[in-house]
Amino acid sequence: MIDKSLRRLMRAGLVALLLAGCAAPQGVIERLPGGEQEPTELLRQAENQSGTEAARTRLQAADILARRGDNAQAIQIATGIDVAQLPPEERVDWALLLSYLGLAQQDGWLVVEATSLLDEDIAIAREDALTLRYRRGLALGMVGEPLPSAKMLIGVQKDDPGFELNDEIWQQLTRLRGASLQELAAIQDPTVQGWVALLELQRRNSGDIARLFDRIEEWRSTYPNHPAARRLPGDLQALRELRGRDVRHIAVFLPESGPLANVAEALREGIQARHMSALDQGEQTPQLSFYDTTGVDTQALYARAQMEGAQVVIGPLDKDQVSRLEVRNDVPLPTLALNYGTAPTNHAEKLFQYGLSAEDEARQAAQRAWRDGHRSAGMLVPDNPWGGRVADAFRQTWQELGGSVVSLIGYNPEASVANAVRPLLNVRGERAQRDMDMLFLLALPSYARQVPPMLEFYYAGNLPIYATSHLYEGRPQPRVDHDLNDVMFVEIPWLIPDAAVGGEEALPYLDSYRKLRSDDEPALFKLKAMGVDAYELARKLPLFQSLPGSQTYGATGTLSLGTDGRIHRELPWAQFAGGVPQPPLRGNAAEADTTEETGDAPVSAGESSDTPEPERADDDA
Q: Do the bridges between strand 376-382 and strand 349-353 make them parallel or antiparallel, or are there none, so unpaired? A: unpaired
Q: How many CB atoms lie within 10 A of CB 228?
A: 22
Label residue 249 by pLDDT band (50, 70, 90): very high
Q: What does the buried/exposed string (b/e) look like for 360-399 if buried means 16 or more CB atoms within 10 Å of the residue's CB?
A: bbbbbbbbbbbbbebeebbbbbbbbebbebbbebbbebbe
Per-residue pLDDT of 344-384, as tens digits, reads: 888 899 999 999 989 999 999 999 999 888 999 999 999 99
Between 620 and 171, the higher pLDDT residue: 171
Based on the number of CB atoms within 10 Å of its own CB, is 245 exposed (0-12), middle (13-18) or buried (19 or more)? middle
Side chain identity, residue 124: I
Element holding 214 (H helix, E strand): helix 209-222
Spatial CA neighbour of 66 closest among 30, 33, 28: 28
CB 322 within 8 A of CB 337: yes
What is the mean pLDDT of the segment spanning 154-163?
A: 86
Q: At residue 147, does pLDDT exceed 50?
A: yes
CA distance 546 to 343: 25
Q: What is the three-class DSSP state of 397?
A: helix
In whole angstroms, what is the distance from residue 56 CA to residue 261 CA? 72
Mean pLDDT of all residues in 398-411 = 95
* Angstrom distances, CA of residue 98 to CA of 3, 55, 256, 318: 17, 14, 61, 52
Which amino acid appears at position 496 of this protein? Answer: I
How many whole angstroms separate alpha carbon 407 and alpha carbon 427? 12
C-alpha 607: how far from its chain's center? Answer: 30
The answer on pLDDT for 48 being more than 70 is yes
Domain annotation for the chain: domains and CATH numbers: 25-143 (1.25.40), 358-508+554-582 (3.40.50.2300)
510 CB-near residues (< 8 Å, 6+ apart): 504
Does 567 score more than 80 pLDDT?
A: yes
Residue 275 belongs to what H/E stretch?
helix 261-280
For 34, 313, 568, the CA distances from 345, given in Å and listed in that order, are: 59, 21, 15
Give the per-residue pLDDT at 384: 95
Share of the chain above pLDDT 90, in %: 59
Q: Which residues have CB under 8 Å from 473's CB, separation 6+?
A: 445, 522
**How much is the pLDDT for 30?**
43
DSSP readout, 91-109?
A: HHHHHHHHHHHHHHTT-HH
H helix runs in 8-125, sequence order: 12-19, 39-47, 51-67, 71-79, 88-104, 108-114
Report which secondary-structure segment, H or E, holds 167. helix 166-173
- Is the per-residue pLDDT at 461 higher than 60? yes
**Is the pLDDT reported for residue 260 higher than 50?**
yes
Q: What is the percentage of the chain residues whose pLDDT exceeds 70?
A: 88
* Residue 318 main-chain phi, psi, to 5 deg: -65, 130
Statement: residue 618 has pLDDT above 70: no
Strand, helix or coil at 261?
Answer: helix
**567-570 vs 557-561, strand pairing mode:** antiparallel
Residue 1 has pLDDT above 60, yes or no: no
Phi, psi (deg, nearest 5) at residue 531: -65, -40
Strand arrangement of the beta sheet that strand 465-467 belongs to: 404-411, 376-382, 438-441, 465-467, 488-490, 573-577, 580-582
Burial zone of 135 (CB within 10 Å; 0-12 exposed, 13-18 middle, 19+ buried): buried
In order of 111, 481, 616, the CA distances from 471 in angstroms are: 37, 10, 11
Q: End-to-end CA distance of the chain: give it in Å, rounded.
A: 64
Q: Which residue has the higher pLDDT, 9 or 294?
A: 294
Is pLDDT above 70 for 499?
yes
**pLDDT at residue 259 greater than cutoff 60:** yes
- Half-sphere exposure of residue 482: CA atoms within 13 angstroms, side-chain side: 4
Q: What is residue 69's predicted lDDT score, i.e. its pLDDT? A: 87
DSSP state of 583: P
Q: What pLDDT does residue 36 have? A: 65
DSSP for 418-462, please give it: HHHHHHHHT-BTTB-----SEEEE---HHHHTTHHHHHHHTT-TT
Phi, psi of 453 (to 5 degrees): -60, -35
Nearest 5°: CA angle at 231, between 227 and 236?
115
Cβ neighbours around 458 below 10 Å, total: 21
Does 3 have pLDDT greater than 70? no
pLDDT of residue 244: 66
Mean pLDDT of the chain: 85
- Confidence band for 597, pLDDT divided at 50, 70 and 90: very low
* Cis peptide, bond prior to residue 227, ω within 30 of zero: no
Count of other CB atoms within 10 angstroms of residue 200: 14
Q: What is the pLDDT of residue 454?
A: 95
pLDDT at 615 over 50: no
Of the candidate ranges 14-28, 121-135, 328-342, 475-489, the one whose mean pLDDT is the lowest: 14-28
Query: Is a pLDDT exceeding 80 seen at residue 614?
Result: no
Q: Three-state SS for 551? A: strand
d(CA 201, CA 215): 7
d(CA 336, CA 588): 36
Whether 492 shows a pLDDT value over 90: the answer reads yes
Query: Is the separation of the CB atoms in 227 and 298 below 8 Å?
Result: no
Higher pLDDT, 24 or 518: 518
Residues 6+ apart with CB under 8 A from 404: 375, 376, 377
Instruction: Phi first, then psi: give them for residue 47, nearest 5 degrees.
Output: -60, -30
Higher-confidence residue of 230 and 241: namely 230
Task: Give the separation between CA 483 and CA 579, rounded to whole angstroms.
Answer: 7
| Average pLDDT of the segment spanning 54-73 | 90
Q: Which of 206-210, 305-309, 426-430, 476-480 has the lowest mean pLDDT?
A: 206-210
* Stretch 273-292: mean pLDDT: 92
447: pLDDT strictly greater than 50: yes
Out of 156-160, 487-491, 548-552, pick the least confident: 548-552
